Structure 1
Amino acid sequence: MTAAAAARSILTRLHEVMASRLHPQGKLDQVVQIIGESLDSEVCSIYLLREGMLELFATRGLEQSAVHVTRLAIGEGLNGIIAEHVETLNLAEAAAHPDFAYRPETGEDKFHSFAGVPIVHRERAVGTLCVQHADPRRYEDVEIEALQTVAMVLSELIASAGLVDEESSALGEALSGPQVVQGLTLVKGIAAGCAVFHQPRVHIDHVVAEDTEAERQRVYRAFDKMRDQIEAMASQAEFGVGGEHDEVLQTYKMFAYDEGWGRRINEAIDSGLTAEAAIERVQQRTRMRMREIDDPLLADRMHDLEDLSNRLLRIVSGQLGTAATQGLKRDTILVARNLGPAELLEYDRRRLKGVVLEEGSLTAHVVIVARAMGIPVLGRARALRGLVREGDEILLDADKGLVHIRPTQQTQDLFAERFAQTRQKQAAYAELRDVEPFTRCGTRIQVMINAGLRDDMAALSLVGADGIGLFRTEFQFLVSATLPQRERQTRLYRDVLEAAGDKPVIFRTVDIGGDKAVPYLDNENADADENPAMGWRALRLALEREGLMKAQARALLEAAAGKALYVMFPMVSEPWEFDAAKAVFDQQLAWLRSQKKMLPDEIRFGAMLEVPALAETLDLLLPKVSFISIGTNDLTQFLFAADRANPKLAERYDWLSPAILRFLKRIVLGTAGSGVDLAVCGEMGGRRLEALALLGIGFRRLSITPVAVGPIKELVRKVDLAEITAAMAGWLSSPPASLRTELQAWAEARGIETD
């Protein structure tokens, strides 16, 4: 008899029991009789978790007086081991197992062979099903598989009867007690909320099939749809080009077309399971195998198969939407394996407080968008999904790279203090909204914000910034599956300018390519980029793809009709690149003029100085530009030859090192008296100690994240420029062992609070 036939024979009889009007105990008593008879086994017993202990609920072959009397702790005895590890045992001689625990009241001393499987409900063991025989023998694979299939049906029976003791599951301690998971800080910040899975888990309500052939066809259709999705993934922005995403994609393809996987699901359907239950049945077997794998690479591949099984389960059940489509009901910490920028933008920003990813990298598209949205993100939290349940309370400390699951009261109290301090500071900063940032000596400092989304414009008035010092136009490109049409670009730019009113908006032309790859602009050179940040990206890409630059130039010019337009070109390495980019705008301007179109009242062009080479030709560039913005993020990694996407290097090189500060001071001196506006644009200007240093070397304009505007305004009002300029000059002339330490002490001595 095949495994499917054996299981189908049992399920047919169990279906009748489940449909009967017997009380739950009566049903369980009949179940053990049916299984024992079908497998010709002298003993069949069911243990269920009650109050943290495995309790004998029903038996055929053991002493009936032991029912509801015999109890085992998790990890105690053979059944305790099965529940603790969610694994199957098959023993010819039970007493020879080191964890065998003899219970005399059961009368089991005359039985030698033993086989047991976990009863799993919502991924957790809530009981065990075991059989025993007097003669020493290992049970056949066909019998074990029949037991595993029956255990699935039992999980539905005991759940519907209210016999599942959720908090006493085999993973009870891990899934009810506090846990702390470490990860990689992707976007700093702290947040609190309940756990919500980006891809909600599918809970199976019906296990036994009414029509086996209909279930098989449902699985075939789901496989076809899943394979189409996998093929389409290759063109989705979040998978990028090459690298680890490509490896995941290839693994997905391997499993999606694996005949063995499909065959095992088919066999489970043959045994009488529904399509959902059959997929889950095979998935349970995969999880059990994963627990036996020591090879981390192979374990990762098994995780990929589980991920794909979840996808197939969602398709066959019709539960295709993400948590975003269902709407967030309360403050939420989103849990996902990975996330694309467009998916993040689907969520309600009022409810979404933080994101925790099992994967994720510092340069992932979603991180760029999350930083702009002010949402803390933690990545590389590898073990998270096995430790957290939907709705669990989570405290996210992305500053320290930690996520607290079901936190202790002490941890909650500490976080409450931090939140209170943050709210107190925010309230004080909010009072500075309409206050102009003058230094103690009366110098006006311009404080602008960085933006990239239409919704970001609201922050302009909320924080009282002087304007948008950097509008990242690439966000529209990153969250789109196809190249945004010129009309769409025009609408966005026009909306942004209208929202800004009289305040200036500096539009940076698109900075994509390299580590911000988009599939619709694939290039044979992109795959070969060993250092994407220094590769085919930004202005280099735009000048080569002239159609892209022309469309954006026209969109910006049309959107700014009757207004002032500020255009900034990213990653200019030499003056001729600025000339070439400006020529594209000049051509489009001439065409619009020839068509009698309304034009901008004023156009100012500038460049981002982030490639160190440009500093060596500053004298050639200055006559051509109206302003220069220093992109400190890229400039720092280029100066130090340190990839900021590499976690080992991300924090290694200090913005307050003499090397970077001397370089920046040279640029200040080089632009002095030229009439060209100079700004720092990046994270460096939004950190109080770093901003203090920038003021001391001559910068008077900062473009930073909206949340940093209040703290920087408050700082500016405490600074005497003559004092800090003299101090910085001394330190840069003769650098101390730690300029950061010296500056910190200098600030504290004057009552200037730093980060």
Structure 2
Amino acid sequence: MASFTLHGIPVSRGISIGRAHKLTPAALDVKHYLVPEEQVEAEVGRLQDAIAAVHHDLQELWTDLPKDAPTELGAFIDVHALILSDPMISEAPLDIIRSRHYNAEWALVTQIDELSAQFDEIEDEYLRERKHDIQQVAERVLKVLTGTALPLPAPPSEHNADQYQPQMIVVAHDISPADMLAFRDRSFIGFVTDVGGQNSHTAIVARSLDIPAAVGMSQASRLIEQDDWVIIDGDAGVVICNPSPLVLEQYRARQQTLLRARKRLLKLKKTPAVTRDGTPITLLANIELPDDCPAALEAGAVGVGLFRSEFLFMGRGAHPVKVPSEDEQFEQYRKAVLAMKGRPVTIRTLDIGADKPLDPGEHTALNPALGLRAIRYCLAEPQMFLTQLRAILRASAFGKVRILIPMLAHAFEIDQSLSMIKQAKAQLREENVKFDEAIEVGAMVEIPAAALALPMFVKRLNFLSIGTNDLIQYTLAIDRVDYEVAHLYNPLHPAVLQLIAMTISAGKKAGLDVAVCGEMAGDVKFTRLLLGMGLTEFSMHPAQLLAVKQEILSSDLALIAPRTRKVLRSMEPAEIVEAVEQLQAM
């Protein structure tokens, strides 16, 4: 068997070595035949039964979700259940069977092909990507109809456990989060897909499960055969199929080195994050739910720098979505505050819209990233916003809480937000409900307009948090969930670096705390660069925290700062990359 290498998009770090387990699209094996008139209703019933079976499967997946499962998985299952219930899927194929006498599989594929063609006409990249969700749902129905799904290996048990048994790497054109759950308790150690981008659903789940993965591999599912040996280099986005014994040995050695490095990092948990020249650095955790707090504490976080409250609103399985009540929210915020045992918790108000729709069944704007999202959405729904603010304020009676407002760009948005907070406080005082009167309010800096107009922020607010993911997206005019333009997403673009540096500088000059809470904060390639800009507060996924701490402990600001100024003066991409590499080597 010839060895070959595929290049795609790295989405989850690490190295996996195992045997390929292919998920073959059932649509490729669909038979096409006409059903006699007297058998039409029986064929309709066959498709209805298949749809009902998939509904049942999705419900079981939802019910059996492990307590430690990433929150996104539940939301994705809800989305697929909604798609399956849509008349365009649940009824239109039945009409095709009745009118054209197509067999059930052919009718379903015909309808999906028509829907896919309609999605291909949509200009907005994010909405076009939703075509894959529809295809994934249809795939599940087809597998019930055709029985073409490959059997899953048995979960490891005390009787069949074998440390030398090769573990499996899933190879597919695409894989839904619901399908990923089926592999969770088996020997699943990585996955490779033809499609997907840095922030596609599969990428999000891979990072949440801390599993090496490579997506956007184009022809992987056609070129890789069942049971082929496969290596995933998650850091490089490279997949090696049928490696030579020498390459296999090299990657096994690298894998062991990475495992040993992870174990060494655990020893840094209680070590204060201080640079070599004595500058203390604050390391905080990004969380989605209160249940993430133990992992944050285990990693040595000194607080929560970003509590993404929207995950309390998503995946609630109703259409239209029923938003959580004030008491529901309060209990979740209070739970997080108590779990952090006196450490500060920064709660971001609802950041819904774009790639995080509150209700997937609602009509979405043509360009959701530029539409009614985050604070714009909250100010358009003042009662919902007020309910959330009251819940956050009530939780502040149980520990240090800060309020973070996302996507601010205008002075009136800041003023209206502060006015709503003032109103919430007045209501709670009137009801004799305790809260922190001096609660701090901060802004997410994630729009270039905000970074360029910081004076109006620093005189109104208590702290700033730079959301680098959106800041890069808006500065470079790139949809960050679109894998076709993923190569243009560049944190080291000179314009991006200038905006980050000026935000840190302006905040410090005004005496405000400034944090970075986007992906850059957790990437060790950028740690010294951000330190050289004057950043002293990083917020990231708990799994990234110890590696960043290790980089901080070996950094000397007196040496880094002059080199960083050189980076910021450069407008040449090659010079910037070289200078950042030199920073890492210091």
Q: Which TM-score tier does this pair reach, normalised by the shorter chain?
A: 0.7 to 0.9
In structure 2, relative to structure 1, the CA distance for the partners of 1:389 and 1:656 (3 Å cut) is closer
Q: Secondary structure at the match of 2:313?
A: helix
* Mapped pair 1:259 → 2:97: yes
2-structure distance, mates of 1:720, 1:513:
41
1-structure distance, mates of 2:241, 2:95:
37
1:420 is displaced (CA, Å) by: 1.2
**% identical aligned pairs:** 27
In structure 2, relative to structure 1, the CA distance for the partners of 1:549 and 1:463 (3 Å cut) is same
Q: Is the 8 A contact 2:476 2:489 kept in 1?
A: yes
Instruction: Name the counterpart of 1:674.
Output: 510
The letter of the residue matching 2:324 is Q
1:478 is displaced (CA, Å) by: 3.8
In structure 2, relative to structure 1, the CA distance for the partners of 1:362 and 1:466 (3 Å cut) is same
Q: Secondary structure at the match of 1:356?
A: strand
Instruction: Name the counterpart of 1:485.
Output: 324
The letter of the residue matching 2:47 is F
In structure 2, relative to structure 1, the CA distance for the partners of 1:428 and 1:254 (3 Å cut) is same
The letter of the residue matching 2:388 is Q
The letter of the residue matching 2:346 is I
Q: Is the 8 A contact 1:230 1:253 kept in 2?
A: no
Instruction: Name the counterpart of 1:143.
Output: none
1-structure distance, mates of 2:405, 2:505:
22
The letter of the residue matching 1:744 is E
* Mapped pair 1:356 → 2:200: no
Match of residue 530, structure 2, among 689, 694, 708: 694
Q: Is the 8 A contact 2:293 2:339 kept in 1?
A: yes
Q: Is the 8 A contact 2:407 2:444 kept in 1?
A: yes
Give RMSD over aligned pairs. Answer: 4.7
The letter of the residue matching 1:258 is I
2-structure distance, mates of 1:655, 1:458:
30
2-structure distance, mates of 1:386, 1:733:
47
2-structure distance, mates of 1:342, 1:265:
27
Instruction: Name the counterpart of 1:527.
Output: 365
Instruction: Name the counterpart of 1:505.
Output: 345
Whose Rg is larger? 1
Instruction: Name the counterpart of 1:191.
Output: 16
2-structure distance, mates of 1:369, 1:582:
35
Q: Is the 8 A contact 2:193 2:221 kept in 1?
A: no
Task: Write the mapping of 1:396-475 to structure 2, written as runs, cut at 5 A.
Answer: 396-404=232-240, 409-475=245-311
The letter of the residue matching 1:498 is L
* Mapped pair 1:222 → 2:62: no
Q: Is the 8 A contact 2:17 2:230 kept in 1?
A: yes
Q: Secondary structure at the match of 1:672?
A: helix
1:520 is displaced (CA, Å) by: 5.5
1:440 is displaced (CA, Å) by: 1.5
In structure 2, relative to structure 1, the CA distance for the partners of 1:626 and 1:654 (3 Å cut) is same
In structure 2, relative to structure 1, the CA distance for the partners of 1:307 and 1:538 (3 Å cut) is closer
Q: Name the TM-score, length of structure 1 as normaliser.
A: 0.59
Q: Is the 8 A contact 2:348 2:403 kept in 1?
A: yes
1:609 is displaced (CA, Å) by: 0.3
| Gaps in structure 1 of 5+ consecutive residues | 1-172, 202-211, 267-278, 287-296, 751-755
> 1:220-260: per-residue Cα shift (whole Å, max 9, x none)?
43312456799999xx965999xxx99x9968976564328
Task: Write the mapping of 1:125-524 to structure 2, written as runs, cut at 5 A.
Answer: 182-192=7-17, 219-226=43-50, 238=76, 257-259=95-97, 263=101, 265=103, 308=138, 311-314=141-144, 333-334=169-170, 338=174, 348=184, 353-381=189-217, 383-384=219-220, 394-404=230-240, 409-482=245-318, 483=321, 484-486=323-325, 487-519=327-359, 522-523=362-363
2-structure distance, mates of 1:456, 1:704:
12
Match of residue 398, structure 2, among 562, 565, 576: 562
1-structure distance, mates of 2:456, 2:52:
53
Instruction: Name the counterpart of 2:32.
Output: none
2-structure distance, mates of 1:430, 1:316:
48
Q: Is the 8 A contact 2:43 2:97 kept in 1?
A: no
In structure 2, relative to structure 1, the CA distance for the partners of 1:540 and 1:444 (3 Å cut) is same
> 1:284-317: per-residue Cα shift (whole Å, max 9, x none)?
x99xxxxxxxxxx9xxx9xx99984761452698
Match of residue 633, structure 1, among 462, 466, 469: 469
Q: Is the 8 A contact 1:226 1:256 kept in 2?
A: no
> 1:26-71: per-residue Cα shift (whole Å, max 9, x none)?
xxxxxxxxxxxxxxxxxxxxxxxxxxxxxxxxxxxxxxxxxxxxxx
Q: Is the 8 A contact 1:180 1:404 kept in 2?
A: yes
* Mapped pair 1:576 → 2:435: no
In structure 2, relative to structure 1, the CA distance for the partners of 1:200 and 1:671 (3 Å cut) is same
1-structure distance, mates of 2:141, 2:374:
35
> 1:735-755: per-residue Cα shift (whole Å, max 9, x none)?
67512212323543x3xxxxx
In structure 2, relative to structure 1, the CA distance for the partners of 1:633 and 1:306 (3 Å cut) is closer
| Gaps in structure 2 of 5+ consecutive residues | 27-35, 59-73, 111-119, 121-130, 162-166
1-structure distance, mates of 2:575, 2:347:
37
2-structure distance, mates of 1:480, 1:357:
28
Q: Name the TM-score, length of structure 2 as normaliser.
A: 0.74
1:504 is displaced (CA, Å) by: 1.6
1:548 is displaced (CA, Å) by: 3.2
1:600 is displaced (CA, Å) by: 4.3
In structure 2, relative to structure 1, the CA distance for the partners of 1:180 and 1:455 (3 Å cut) is farther
Q: Is the 8 A contact 2:191 2:213 kept in 1?
A: yes
1:636 is displaced (CA, Å) by: 1.7
Q: Is the 8 A contact 1:440 1:718 kept in 2?
A: yes
Instruction: Name the counterpart of 1:123.
Output: none
2-structure distance, mates of 1:540, 1:514:
12
Task: Write the mapping of 1:592-671 to structure 2, written as runs, cut at 5 A.
Answer: 592-600=428-436, 603-647=439-483, 649-652=485-488, 654-671=490-507
Instruction: Name the counterpart of 2:114.
Output: none
2-structure distance, mates of 1:671, 1:614:
12
Q: Secondary structure at the match of 1:624?
A: coil
In structure 2, relative to structure 1, the CA distance for the partners of 1:716 and 1:370 (3 Å cut) is same
The letter of the residue matching 1:595 is E
In structure 2, relative to structure 1, the CA distance for the partners of 1:481 and 1:305 (3 Å cut) is closer
Q: Secondary structure at the match of 1:528?
A: coil
1:619 is displaced (CA, Å) by: 1.6
1:401 is displaced (CA, Å) by: 2.9
1:648 is displaced (CA, Å) by: 5.0
Match of residue 715, structure 1, among 524, 548, 551: 551
The letter of the residue matching 1:517 is P
In structure 2, relative to structure 1, the CA distance for the partners of 1:310 and 1:668 (3 Å cut) is closer
User: Greater relative contact order: 1 or 2 (C-alpha under 8 angstroms, separation 6 or more)?
Assistant: 2
Q: Secondary structure at the match of 1:738?
A: helix
Q: Secondary structure at the match of 1:527?
A: coil
In structure 2, relative to structure 1, the CA distance for the partners of 1:332 and 1:503 (3 Å cut) is farther
Q: Secondary structure at the match of 1:605?
A: strand
The letter of the residue matching 1:485 is P
1:697 is displaced (CA, Å) by: 1.6
The letter of the residue matching 2:337 is L
Match of residue 742, structure 1, among 579, 582, 586: 579
In structure 2, relative to structure 1, the CA distance for the partners of 1:535 and 1:305 (3 Å cut) is closer
Q: Secondary structure at the match of 1:719?
A: coil
1-structure distance, mates of 2:394, 2:226:
48
1:416 is displaced (CA, Å) by: 1.1
Q: Is the 8 A contact 1:188 1:377 kept in 2?
A: yes
1:375 is displaced (CA, Å) by: 3.4
1-structure distance, mates of 2:365, 2:220:
32
1:374 is displaced (CA, Å) by: 3.0
